Amino acid sequence: MVFYFSGTGNSKWVAKYLAQLINDEAFDIIDLKQLPNIYNEKQIGFVFPIYAWGIPEPMALFAKKLMKNKAFVFGVCTCGEDAGLAMKHFSKIYPLDSSYSIVMPNNYVIGYDIEDEQTIKNKLTNAKIKLQSISNEIKEQRKTYNVQEGSHARIKSSLVNFGFNKVARNTKSFYTTDACSGCSVCVNNCPKSSISLKNGKPVWEGQCYMCMRCINECPQQAIQYGKDTENRKRYSIKKYLEEDK
């Protein structure tokens, strides 16, 4: 079984493609009604995006609760550049036999401009090639640590990640412009259920996962975060998967 969490579809695509290559099935942990029975599983995989050089909260909580068995366990994280020590931290929660990072398009639109078309396409092509070789290694149950940690990994995965989870996950800077049609796509899409409609318009409450699904997938491009996102494009992997067909 391959378990995944995905904000904007990168990790979902990685999990599904990898599962297909290793004749397995991928499950979105947000949709699971109860903890899965993995007693008879021979291989277990975890796929998730890197958030501030760390593990997204829902994946860490899921892994903490999941039973351990004798299966071969692999973890694959997706990141725009590098993962820091996230996979080593994950391994302390749920021991991994093999760990990989895959560079994917950066979806962090509230922090950076979305990459240009060619960079996105190159990343997706390279990811596909890397996943094919990862799938062969998983089939052989090869133990390995193939993770792009990047520079200053220790400090990024401790202090910076701590700050992200404490402060930067506050939703108060999200708002909608007049372009919002009140369609509820963001409300229904939010994996943390942090968005609700008030007077026909979405409002954000409390902390969220900062997964970027709402802002990237709004059909009207009406969701903004602070001032900087007004002039930025949005990222959707769906567009590139459609072109690939």
The footprint of ligand FMN (CB under 6 A) covers 6-12, 49-53, 78-82, 104-108, 210-212
Kindly report the backbone phi and psi dihedral angles of residue 27, in degrees, each rounded to the nearest multiple of 5, phi listed first. -125, 135
Strand intervals (E) in the chain: 2-4, 26-28, 43-49, 72-79, 98-103, 144-146, 174-176, 195-198, 201-204, 223-225
Shortest distance, position 148 Cβ to ligand FMN, whole Å:
8
C-alpha dihedral sign at 83, 85, 91, 97 = positive
Tokens 């596909």 found at: 128
Of 72 and 225, the one with the shorter C-beta distance to ligand FMN is 225
Of 197 and 226, the one with the shorter C-beta distance to ligand FMN is 226
Shortest distance, position 69 Cβ to ligand FMN, whole Å:
26
Shortest distance, position 211 Cβ to ligand FMN, whole Å:
6
User: Any residues with CB less than 8 A from the CB of 19 and at least 6 apart, and which?
Assistant: 2, 25, 26, 45
Of 72 and 124, the one with the shorter C-beta distance to ligand FMN is 124
Tokens 């990222």 found at: 235
Of 107 and 229, the one with the shorter C-beta distance to ligand FMN is 107
Shortest distance, position 177 Cβ to ligand FMN, whole Å:
21
Task: Measure the CA–CA gap between 216 and 210, rounded to whole angstroms.
Answer: 11
Mark residue 100 as left, alpha or beta (left: phi above 0; alpha: psi -120 to 50; beta: remaining): beta
Of 30 and 71, the one with the shorter C-beta distance to ligand FMN is 30
Task: Measure the CA–CA gap between 102 and 148, rounded to whole angstroms.
Answer: 8
Shortest distance, position 97 Cβ to ligand FMN, whole Å:
22
Of 8 and 99, the one with the shorter C-beta distance to ligand FMN is 8
Closest-CA residue to 75 (of 159, 155, 118, 11): 11
Shortest distance, position 1 Cβ to ligand FMN, whole Å:
18
